[in-house]
Structure 1
Amino acid sequence: MHRTAVLDLDNMETLPPGAERIEFAILGAILNEPVLRALHRLAQEEETTRRYGFE
């Protein structure tokens, strides 16, 4: 997660200050957060299956 945050801020810093950075931050929050939550859930399911054998 730390690496994702670093890359996100690195990309944002390539934009000129102002509206473009704000748009980037808002779109990042809207688009990235649901994806990261879904990946987290998938990882939990995989780990549960690995530990307990549930399917």
Structure 2
Amino acid sequence: MSLQRAALGLAFGGAAAVLLALLAGLSRLGEALIDGTAQLFGRCRSSPSSRWPSCGSASARR
């Protein structure tokens, strides 16, 4: 049961990611709505010493 739920979650998450990536890549409206939000979440990383993501701090920047 647990493996089945994990596989379903992976399938739905992957499908949602592909759909959002296509929307962001193929239309200007999709890019305006999705790309900025995706980049914001890409900058938020959890530090090993904390469970909370650190957005905008020097440790989160590449």
TM-score, structure 1 length as denominator? Answer: 0.45
Specify the structure having the higher radius of gyration (Cα): 1
Higher share of residues assigned helix: 1
Could you tell me the TM-score, scaled by structure 2's length? 0.41
